[in-house]
């Protein structure tokens, strides 16, 4: 049915129809741009253009210090109501969804699954060893102070948490972009459609990059740290590139296991903050980029941001386990039209192929209902 569904409703028509009329998508994260109306009015506003022109004409021609093109923030040329540098779909969570994420693990059943799982375990061990991360269980009835807990390797301080998060996010943004690139090239080379995978993979890559941009507001890494990232990224990109050519299924399973570890990491971070073991972040306000990206409350705290990041990682866990259960050559991406809400993605590891087939059929029904509703008006 996943293969047959390609012929029933072309994905590009289906996606357009659902984005035009998202109202029937109850209980799911409809794939619409959360800022589409804001962006449209902002980018086509005559008043904004005139104001920008006046500002530019009042500046000396040789003054580059205030030029919009030389500012680090690439969106400085549009109104301040849009502060992010993203354009793709991403979920915005309700408070209930943020608390719905569970730490889950899929047992490795096949040889490919075991290979992917063991590679993630090795990568986790290697990174923990290099970074000195131990996460030893705190003895019951312990009266150690916060400083003693940190020196004993039981918990991390702010600097260690940021080192860990920044490095992980620089790596986590690679697989989606590599997979999307390869599927894009395959589509061009074979002159056939991609069945909706490319956009979801690009969305994942951008989402991980936005995690990095968010935590970069808390700390600027050293040159040495950046050099390590450069080397790790170069090695990982090429290895993942070659691996995806050989076995996309194994690669998606690898990413899913990696995201399982990410959910564990952010769950531990949330616990440390809520228990008062990371006082530097207890009352820290959320960066503006995070408030805008996840549509958080104006008075949101950094803890709210980490809850949102964990939900994103749970989404990637769910999506990649689901994609690993499909035939990458023929099956439609079930998330090209919509995604389940966090009450499903946070509590379930992914769709089996039969479940993905049913989900696609339900999406088509929603599209047909939307079409009928529009035509009846």
Annotated domain spans of the chain: 95-134+144-352
Q: Is 313 annotated as a binding residue?
A: yes
Q: Is 199 annotated as a binding residue?
A: no
pLDDT of residue 243: 96
Separation in Å, CA 17 to CA 56, 188, 375: 40, 25, 12
Q: Is 274 annotated as a binding residue?
A: no
d(C-alpha 169, C-alpha 278), whole Å: 20
Q: Is 259 annotated as a binding residue?
A: yes
pLDDT of residue 247: 95
What is this structure's pTM? 0.78
- Find the Cα–Cα–Cα–Cα dihedral 81, 87, 90, 96, rounded to 10°: 0
pLDDT of residue 89: 79
pLDDT of residue 216: 93
pLDDT of residue 128: 81
Q: Which CATH architecture has domain 95-134+144-352?
A: Up-down Bundle (1.20)
Separation in Å, CA 290 to CA 30, 34, 150, 361: 21, 14, 28, 35
Contacts of 358-361 with CB under 8 Å at 24 or more apart are 359/334, 360/1, 360/2, 360/5, 360/332, 360/334, 361/1, 361/5
pLDDT of residue 92: 87
pLDDT of residue 67: 47
DSSP 8-state secondary structure symbol assigned to residue 107:
P
pLDDT of residue 1: 53
Q: Tens of pLDDT along the chain (377 residues)? A: 565 443 333 333 344 334 333 333 434 444 543 433 333 333 333 333 334 444 444 445 455 545 444 444 433 333 444 455 666 778 889 999 999 999 999 999 999 999 999 999 998 888 887 776 777 788 887 788 888 888 887 888 899 899 999 999 999 999 999 999 999 999 999 999 999 999 999 999 999 999 999 999 998 889 999 999 999 999 999 999 999 999 999 999 999 999 999 999 999 999 999 999 999 999 999 999 999 999 999 999 999 999 999 999 999 999 999 999 999 999 999 998 888 989 999 999 999 999 999 999 999 899 898 888 888 87
pLDDT of residue 9: 37
pLDDT of residue 209: 94
Other residues' Cβ atoms within 10 Å of the Cβ of residue 282 = 15
Q: Is 169 annotated as a binding residue?
A: yes
d(C-alpha 184, C-alpha 14), whole Å: 20
pLDDT of residue 81: 47
Q: Is 316 annotated as a binding residue?
A: yes
Question: If you compute the radius of gyration of the chain from its CA atoms, what whole number of angstroms results?
Answer: 22
């Amino acid at each position: 049915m996943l293969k047959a569904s390609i012929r029933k409703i072309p994905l590009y028509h289906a996606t357009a129809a659902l984005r035009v009329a998202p109202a029937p998508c109850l209980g799911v994260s409809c794939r619409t741009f959360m800022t589409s109306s804001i962006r449209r009015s902002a980018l086509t506003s005559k008043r904004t253009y005139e104001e920008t022109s006046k500002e530019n004409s009042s500046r000396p021609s040789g003054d580059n210090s205030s030029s919009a093109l030389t500012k680090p923030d690439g969106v400085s040329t549009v109104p301040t109501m849009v502060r992010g540098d993203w354009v793709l779909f991403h979920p915005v969570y309700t408070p209930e969804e943020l608390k719905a994420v569970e730490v889950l693990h899929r047992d490795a059943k096949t040889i490919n699954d075991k290979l992917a799982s063991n590679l993630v375990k090795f990568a986790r061990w290697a990174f923990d060893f290099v970074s000195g991360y131990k996460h030893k269980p705190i003895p019951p009835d312990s009266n150690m102070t916060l400083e003693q807990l940190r020196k004993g390797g039981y918990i991390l301080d702010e600097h260690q948490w940021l080192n860990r998060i920044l490095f992980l996010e620089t790596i986590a943004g690679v697989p989606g972009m590599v997979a999307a690139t390869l599927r894009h090239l395959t589509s061009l080379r074979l002159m056939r459609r991609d069945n909706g995978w490319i956009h979801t993979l690009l969305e994942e890559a951008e989402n991980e990059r936005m995690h990095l941009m968010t935590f970069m507001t808390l700390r600027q890494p050293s040159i040495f740290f950046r050099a390590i990232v450069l080397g790790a990224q170069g090695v990982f990109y090429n290895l993942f590139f070659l691996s995806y050519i050989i076995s996309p299924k194994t690669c998606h399973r690898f990413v899913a296991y990696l995201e399982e570890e990410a959910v564990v990491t952010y769950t531990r971070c949330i616990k440390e903050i809520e228990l008062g073991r990371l006082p530097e972040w207890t009352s820290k306000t959320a960066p503006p980029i995070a408030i805008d990206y996840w549509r958080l409350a104006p008075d949101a705290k950094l803890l709210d941001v980490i809850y949102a990041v964990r939900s994103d990682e749970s989404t990637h866990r769910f999506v990649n386990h689901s994609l690993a259960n499909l035939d990458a050559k023929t099956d439609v991406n079930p998330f090209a039209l919509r995604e389940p809400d966090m009450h499903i993605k946070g509590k379930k590891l992914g769709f089996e192929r039969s479940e993905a087939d049913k989900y696609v059929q339900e999406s088509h029904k929603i599209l047909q209902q939307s079409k009928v509703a529009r035509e009846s008006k």
